[in-house]
Structures are given as C-alpha cells and as structure tokens.
Structure 1
Amino acid sequence: MLENKIILGSEEWCSFPELGIPAIKARVDSGAKTSALHAINITPFVKDSENWVKFDINPIQNNLKTVIHCEAKLIDKRIVKSSSGFREQRYVIQSKIKIGTQDWEIEMTLTNRDSMGFRMLLGREAMSGRILVDPEQKYLLGQTSTEQLKEFYINSTQLKSGLRIGLLASNPELYSNRRIMEAGEMRGHEMHFLNIKECYMKLDADKPEIHYRGGKILDYFDAVIPRIRPSMTFYGCALTRQFEAMKVFCLNSAGAITQSRDKLYSLQLLLHHGVDIPTTGFANSPLDTDDLIKMVGGSPLIVKLLEGTQGKGVVLAETKKAAESVINAFKSLNANILVQEFIKEANGKDLRLFVVDGKVVATIQREAAAGEFRANIHMGGTASIIKPTADEKRIAIKAAKAMDLKVAGVDIIRSSKGPLLLEVNSSPGLEGIEGATNKDIAGEMIKAIEKNFKWK
C-alpha cells in the first residue's frame, strides 16, 4: 500500500549500525538495480569456516582522515556493469540499513567510489516494496550537519589511536612518498614529510635531538618510515640511527638499510642464511681476468660495478671478448666489481616480491622492453601479476628476515636450478607494483607500524 511506503528525495542520509557507520550520504537511484557502498582495502578472509570480507571506508566525501574498518559476511561475488559501462567483479555483502526511523536488510556491492559524488548508492532492489522516490526533493528525512558529523565520528577508534608518523625521504612528489602519506592519513594518522637534507642532529648521551629547518626540534614522533635514496644512504642512515636513539620506532632500521646497500656484504649475508644466488665472483680490478670469467661459467655474463646505484654500472657481456673489455674498463677506474652468471632461461624476466612485516603482500613479473637489457632493476619494460610459488615466497621472506628488513622488495629470477635471489631493496618503489596488482601496499606499511603500537 502507498501509505505504508517511505518517500525519499534523490539524496538522503542513512546509517549502517552493524558496520559501525553512523551516517553516510546516499544517492537514491531507481535507475540502478544494485546498491553499492564505497570500500577500499577489500580483503576476503575465513571466519568460523565461513567466507567474510573486511574493508575500509571513508564515509565522508573528500575526507580521507576519517576511516571506518568494517567486516561482513560474504554472500556473493558478481560481475557488475558501472554507469560508465565498465564491468568489474565485486564482493557482495548484506547489512541492515537505517533511514529515518525504519531499518531493513539490503544487499550491496563493495567498490571504490572515490570518483563518484556519493559514498553510497541505493538501488531499486533495496527499495522494492518500501520506498517511493520524489526526484525533485532532497533530504526529506532530515539533513545531517557538519557539527553532527563531528559528534558521530569524533569518538571513532581511528581518530583516537592516530599516530604521529614521519616520512624521511628526499622528494615529496615521488609516487611512493605521496601514497605513503595518503595511506597514513586515510588510516587516521598525523603524517609529516621530513626532507633528509633539511634535518640536522645534536649528538648527546642524555638528550639526543634532531632539528629541522628553522630550528624546530623533532621530538614528537611515534614512528618514522625511512625512504632513503642510494645517494643519501650515509646521511639518511645517520638520521635514522638518531631517531632510534630517541626511542622512535623506525619501520626499517639504519643497520638493515646500511647492509642492504652493500651489494657484496648483502650477498654474503644471504648465502650465510641459506638463500641461493646466481654464481658470483668479486674482485678489485682483477689481474687474472680470464680466471674470473671462468669462475662464473664463462660468457655470457653480467658485470656490476659494486658502487653502482639504480641499475647503473650493470652490463651484459655476451662474449668472452666483450666481458674482458668491460672488466678492463672498470680496471682503469680501480673499481670493485661483481661478475655474475647470466641466467639465459629467464629470458629477460624477473620477479619482484614485496615483503611487509614478514609477509609477501604482492608479486609482479617484470620484463625488459624489446631489445633492452635490465639487470635487477627494470627501468622500462612491462609488469604483470604473477602468482609466486611457495618456494619463491619462502625465499623472499627468508631474505627480508636475513637482512632484518620489515619492508623489502625482493628480486628473484627463475632458473633451471630453481629460484635464485638477485637483490634485496630496502626502499622499493610502489608505483609499478600497486599499478599492476591494484593492492594498497602503502596501507600495508602503515598497518605494520600500527601493529607495533598495539600494546599502547
């Protein structure tokens, strides 16, 4: 009967008590079949032998600091066509919606609605038999003011438990740094970008200090995320050690970063922990070039300048003559070099496994662009999702643990002898792997910091 139905405008406020969402603005759209709720960091899991899903939501449009962590029983997975014609597979949950004084169970899909005007879309399936829509009206059941929203969300655990986190790096515009800042703010933390070059320190046994531009003393941080470019390793690690002396939790320690940047020592350390690497020779401007080449199985082989950074100083020598020429060129520099066997069957591909707090959170396969060679770091080429084997995951976790890194990019190559480790990166980039996998790796880094502070 018409008299028993609720009349709504095209926009209304509603709530989801079971999800802990006290107020969210909804677009009431009878043209849409399915309801949809904004969600990020969507992760399925098993609870009491049933399939559930957990997700985060920023319930207020254009407000990334207010975050609600939700979980609900998973009832379905569906292919949904968006208003733009894009098809995507979405998780479907069921929860009680409350509008005005009435509440009832509805189904809704979970999807990122950052680009949309509303965090919630109420479709006709949820309205059937209960609602009439007057598209010319808005907020017929009441408007929620900014003051009310503050009251609703001021006591959320996310706001109460926010940490002060510093990102120690060089370039605030770098994708990885922007994502980490965003991820921290979205989880309710106070984020500060600290430019390495603008920090200076006071060495004192009783009261060590770090000062920032203008003489500001940095004595209020709970945690620091060091993202140190290779050229700033010495000073960046000195600052990280100073933060550690001030009892600030550092996501990667100065000692771990320092040893990861020493190519020779890091390989020796990994071998000591039982991690296999390609056969490698090391020399300081060798006199016996011929024996060094034989040591790693002859040509083709890879020659690396030990002090090289970001893929520079890495050469593929396809013949013995080419290898001798490259090695002799480095001899003239009196340089330390690594000579490493070339894994032909890898066909220019390697894997990057991203490890956070002892877990592999994402993996991609990287392939060099046609006609190009990239060793360890692919500055070009393509990245694609790939499922690592149990052995590859085990190696990546063991490597990060051996280097004492909570965050690491572990590069592995597949060979006829099994997976071999190429390199462990203590400041791995996020752009390629987040873009390929669509995973919130920056959020995983923030979660690793939160885990350390649970005792508080």
Structure 2
Amino acid sequence: MTENKVILGSEEWFSFPELDIPAIKARIDSGAKTSALHAINIAPFQKDGENWVKFDVKPIQNDLKTVIHCQAQLVDKRIVKSSSGFREQRFVIRTTLDIGSGNWPIEMTLTNRDSMGFRMLLGREAMSGRVLVDPEQKYVLKNNPTDKLKEIYKNAPEAQNGLRIALLASNPELYSNKRIMEAGTIRGHEMEFLNIKECYMKLDAKLPEIHYRGGKILHRFDAIIPRIRPSVTFYGCALTRQFEALKVFSLNSSKAIAQSRDKLYSLQLLLNQGIDIPTTGFANSPLDTDDLIKMVGGSPLIVKLLEGTQGKGVVLAETKKAAESVINAFKSVNANILVQEFIKEANGKDIRCFVIDGKVVAAIQREALPGEFRANVHLGGKASVIKVTDEEKRIAIKAAKAMELKVAGVDIIRSAKGPLLLEVNSSPGLEGIEGATNKDIAGKMIKAIEKNLKFKLTKQPTE
C-alpha cells in the first residue's frame, strides 16, 4: 500500500513544534537506522521525578548566532555508530515531527553535527510505514524556507558565544571528568570528551592534524583540559603538544605536565625557587647506599620509585638493614629511586591545596585510615576541611608557578621544621575536595579557561 505514504526527496525542511524549532533542513537517509538532531550543551536533569534532557540547537548551518533552547523527556541512552565508524553514546528523545501536511512522533539521538552538511538526519525508523523516498528529488514537500530563515527566526535568541572545549582523558565515567563536562555545559560551552588512546596525529609542516578513531578530524577547539593518567604521560603530552601546535589553549601545558611528572626534575625546580622539601637523596650506584642513607638522616626512611605515582612504588624502610635491602633490590633491576627522610611528626596526615590560576581555591587535610601506610605520600583515606596558613598558601602558589601549572594539586606535610612540599599533581582529583568543601572546583577550572580566552567570548556566562 503506497497511496497513503508521504513522498520525500533526498533533502527536506521539517519543523518540531514541541521543541520550538520552526524550520530545520534534514538529509533523508534510509541507510541510517536512527534519526539524529544537531545539539550542543546537552545536560540531563530531573523533572517531576522523570529523566529529561536540555540542549541547545543552532538550526541554521553556518549561523552561530541563532540558537533554540530545548528540553525533552529522555527515553534512552544508546551507543550509535556513525557513517565514519565512530561509536559514541547518545541521549535519545521522542518528539513530534511536523512535515506541513501531517505529523507523527519520532525518536532522535542528540549529537554534535557541526562537521556535517545537515543539522538533522531522518533515519528509516522514523519513516517506516509512512514515507517513500525519491532520491532524485529535493524539497518535494514544497516548503523550502531558505530565503525566509531570518524572518522565521527573528525572535530566536542569539547564541551565547561559548567555547568549544575538549576534555582530554581516559575514563569518561570518572567523577572528576564527569564534573568538568557538566560544569562546562552549565556555563554555556560546547564540551567534548576525547579518549587519549583513540586520538592520533599527523605531523606535517603545512597541515598538522589530530584524528579520532574512525577518521574523524578534530578541529576548531578553543581549549583543551588535559587530564593524563601517569601510564600514558608520554603519549598524552605528545598529544597536548599537537593541540598547542594547532593554537589550541591548554589549561595545563604539555611542558608543565611533563616536568611535574618527572619527580627528580620537579623537586630540583622547586628547590631552585626556595621551596622546602623533605631531605632527599638520589644516587646511581649501589656502592653509595650507606652514605645515601646517612645523607637523609638515617632510618626510618622512604624509598620512592621515580616512575611511581600516587603511592605506588613507595616503601617505608624502618631500619638501616631494611633500607639497604630495599635500595639494593631496586638498583639491581636498574630502577631509578629517590631516598627521602621520614616525617614522623606528620602522623599520617598531609594537606592538599588546590591551586587554579595562581590562587588556592580550596584545601583539605587527608588522613590515613587505621592501619594504612602513609609515608610522605597520599594514599587515600579520610578528607576533611582545614584552614591552611598563609605560609602554606604561599608554598602552594609558588610551587604551581614553578611547575608552570594553571591547575595543580599541591601536597604539603607539616613537620617540626615547618611546612614541606611533597608533590605537585598536574591532574588532581575533584571528588575528595569537592565532597569535603562543597565547592564547585570544576566550575572554577572552566572559569580559568574563560579568563584566559576573554577575547573569544563576546558574552561571558553569568555567575
């Protein structure tokens, strides 16, 4: 039966009355199962106990000023494979499609289609039983409003000139990463999560590029937020350098991240700035073990692998014999180590100062749980709010500046000789410090990007 079916061409104009979208051009694609709508600033929320999603649509190709603020009930989240082979998780909404002579409910996924030629794609699920497609024709519905778009959208608000920000990390489900994506969206920016391992680079003097798995070219980002796992430091920093070569602002630079990850070099940089640290020794030969132990005040002492991070590769040697055994064992496998004095009076506690753009925005005290080993290094435990001294603030700010980090977690330990700096982290976690202080640290990170890219914002997001 074909007499009751609507004939569509390969391109048509539709409207969505429930979304307040009066006209949007769509590609009719019977090869695609799912329909898709261009959407940015996508944010789920609860309404009357149900799951909804709000999002912005810029309905006119190459027009960044016209924006429609939409919201719809959320019906699903699905993994969708694009025509380029790229897989992503998308929100799915149900709304009414209006073709002028009739209407019916359809499901659509929300995704950024900036790189596509059409703001909407109509897939076969939305057409099944209702539509026939004549691929040789366009605008069969005779409602092509191309010349009237300005008039149609004259009452639509202008888009806030937000930024395109990429979060460069490994796990989109990590609390810190989810909070940063949420904070950027709330402040009106277009956020995109990029998995470090799924990016690859083209090194070329005239046309350098960064590609994403499936061949998608990554371009037109205003800023990136690198949150690089220690295990992918080398590749993550190389990728950050490539973005910097493309003139993309990086909240923490590749140079700053690399030097903060080099434990020995970072300590030397800090000492050059007059920042006190626990007395630390470094040697190449096991023949110097005895003097190395004396150098840091004898046992008990801490042995740290240079490549170790966040408590891994850290050993407390309580006696001189134990210290010799541990040091020589590491040296026998050519592992580079630091030997450091043990600050007994710290009693298993340290302080994390969160520094953003030269200011300490929050601070917590972290305390080892009963039976937990904490040796001049953070291993987790209980977090609580603490009032840091002016001297501790000064050390934290100075340390972040020495590392050239705009965002840093600076770990400080209180000793009998005053506050000592333990470590500077270039990808500090947010869960503990936001949970303890109830401060919007993720939002402050986004504001730091806005501050550094004021020239790209014609209208700042409201506080």
TM range (shorter): 0.5 to 0.7
SS at match of 2:282: strand
2:351 aligns with: 351
Q: Deviations over 1:361-386 (max 9, x none)?
A: 11000011112212455333201000
Q: How far, CA to CA, are the matches of 1:390 and 1:248 in structure 2?
A: 35
Write the letter of the residue equivalent to 2:358.
G
Write the letter of the residue equivalent to 2:411.
D
Q: How far, CA to CA, are the matches of 2:197 and 2:53 in structure 1?
A: 31
2:268 aligns with: 268
Q: Is the 8 A contact 1:64 1:186 kept in 2?
A: no
SS at match of 2:329: helix
Cα displacement (A) at 1:59: 12
Aligned residue pairs total 313
After superposition, residues 317-356 of structure 1 pair within 5 angstroms as 317-356=317-356
Cα displacement (A) at 1:288: 2.1
Q: How far, CA to CA, are the matches of 2:382 and 2:285 in structure 1?
A: 35
Q: How far, CA to CA, are the matches of 1:353 and 1:65 in structure 2?
A: 35
Residue 205 in structure 1 maps to residue 208 in structure 2 = no
Q: Deviations over 1:376-420 (max 9, x none)?
A: 553332010001100000000000000000000000000111110
1:405 aligns with: 405
Q: How far, CA to CA, are the matches of 2:55 and 2:186 in structure 1?
A: 5
**Percent of pairs identical after alignment?**
82
> Alpha carbon RMSD of aligned pairs, Å?
2.1
TM-score, normalised to structure 1, is 0.66
Residue 154 in structure 1 maps to residue 157 in structure 2 = yes
Write the letter of the residue equivalent to 2:406.
K
Gaps of 5+ in 2: 1-43, 57-152, 457-463
Q: Deviations over 1:60-119 (max 9, x none)?
A: 9666769xxxxxxxxxxxxxxxxxxxxxxxxxxxxxxxxxxxxxxxxxxxxxxxxxxxxx
CA change 1:419–1:263 in 2 (3 A) is same
Write the letter of the residue equivalent to 2:332.
S
Cα displacement (A) at 1:242: 0.3
CA change 1:387–1:63 in 2 (3 A) is farther
2:366 aligns with: 366
TM-score, normalised to structure 2, is 0.65
CA change 1:212–1:298 in 2 (3 A) is same
SS at match of 2:455: coil
SS at match of 1:284: coil
Q: How far, CA to CA, are the matches of 1:59 and 1:173 in structure 2?
A: 17
Q: How far, CA to CA, are the matches of 1:362 and 1:151 in structure 2?
A: 45
Q: Is the 8 A contact 1:285 1:335 kept in 2?
A: no
After superposition, residues 11-410 of structure 1 pair within 5 angstroms as 154-155=157-158, 159-375=159-375, 377-410=377-410
Q: Is the 8 A contact 1:376 1:411 kept in 2?
A: no
CA change 1:153–1:185 in 2 (3 A) is farther
CA change 1:60–1:188 in 2 (3 A) is farther
1:448 aligns with: 448
CA change 1:189–1:377 in 2 (3 A) is farther
Gaps of 5+ in 1: 1-57, 67-149
Q: Is the 8 A contact 2:310 2:378 kept in 1?
A: no
SS at match of 1:455: helix
Q: Is the 8 A contact 1:301 1:317 kept in 2?
A: yes
